Amino acid sequence: MKKYLAPSILSADFLQLGKQVQATEAGGADFIHCDIMDGQFVPNITFGPLIVSAVKKISSLPLDVHLMIKNPDAIIPAFAEAGSSFITVHTEEVVHLHRTIQRIKQMNIYAGVALNPATSFSAVEEILESVNLVLVMSVNPGFGGQKFITPVLKKIERIAEFREKQGLSYLIEVDGGINKDTLDLASNAGVDVFVMGSAVFDSENVEETTRMYKSMVNG
């Protein structure tokens, strides 16, 4: 399957956000990953639909919106309106996950389900035939620049195996601690979409670094 690079603007310089997003686009990024945090589901607050729509105005890349928030159902329409291409909710936070995934798809948006490091693959097995993307957290959500949690590689392998066996086509996304040392491990386990925040935006040259990681992703 094709591999995709999704820089996470969580680690971008917010005073230069537009320029930095365009630099990743020039460097070959495939998606822009938007980490939405509410200070409830995770111990941090980032941004909302306003920033997503601002990024939409200056980039042609699909926006990969990751909702690390309580009660995501209430605000999914606003993120749809803002121009999201993917909306991913955390299974830990949604009681009626099948209905939520259906609602996102009815808005003609790709629907994703996210798993925290300690959440097992079996928690989402029943919904996998309906989702377009599975986001496997490889850090505890809330902050960029954390260390990759290696045991999640086993979970990624199980999710990739399940997709193969069932003839499904969801994308497998990894989010957290992806850099030169961990990218190939994740790719070999079956990852299709690589979220990278600090590895890209903490670098000297965002465009060049994006280009370098894009060539790594493409193997």
According to CB under 5 A, which residues from 170 to 189 bind Zn ion? Answer: 175
The reply to whether 93 sits near Zn ion by the rule CB under 5 A is no
Q: How far is the CB of 129 from ligand DX5 (least distance, A)?
A: 25
Residues 117 and 131: their CA atoms lie apart, in Å, by: 19
- Give the containing element (helix H, strand E) for 207: helix 206-217
Select 30 or 175, whichever has its Cβ closest to Zn ion: 175
Q: Which of 30, 64, 73, 175 is catalytic?
A: 175
Residues 7 and 182: their CA atoms lie apart, in Å, by: 15
Instruction: 47-54: list long-range contacts, CB under 8 Å, 24+ apart.
Output: 48/75, 48/78, 49/75, 49/78, 49/79, 49/81, 49/82, 50/82, 51/17, 52/79, 52/82, 52/83, 52/84, 53/81, 53/82, 53/83, 54/17, 54/18
Query: Which residues contact ligand DX5 (rule: CB under 6 A)?
Result: 8, 10-11, 33, 35, 66, 68, 139, 141-146, 175-178, 195-199
Select 16 or 102, whichever has its Cβ closest to ligand DX5: 16
Residues 172 and 187: their CA atoms lie apart, in Å, by: 10
175 is catalytic: yes
Binding-residue pattern over the window 2 to 41 for Zn ion, x denoting contact by CB under 5 A: ---------------------------------x------
The reply to whether 66 sits near Zn ion by the rule CB under 5 A is yes
Q: What is the largest CA-CA distance in the chain?
A: 46
Select 126 or 147, whichever has its Cβ closest to Zn ion: 147
Q: Could you tell me whether strands 86-90 and 63-68 are parallel, antiparallel, or unpaired per DSSP bridges? A: parallel
Select 140 or 168, whichever has its Cβ closest to ligand DX5: 140
Q: How far is the CB of 64 from Zn ion (least distance, A)?
A: 8
Question: ∠ CA 21-185-140 to the nearest 5 degrees?
Answer: 65
Q: Which of 30, 35, 64, 192 is catalytic?
A: 35
Q: How far is the CB of 128 from ligand DX5 (least distance, A)?
A: 21
Residues 6 and 153: their CA atoms lie apart, in Å, by: 19
Count of alpha carbons within 13 Å of 131, Cβ hemisphere only? 28
Q: How far is the CB of 173 from Zn ion (least distance, A)?
A: 8
Select 53 or 203, whichever has its Cβ closest to ligand DX5: 203
Residues of this chain that interact with Zn ion (CB under 5 A) are 35, 66, 175
Q: Which residues are catalytic?
A: 35, 175
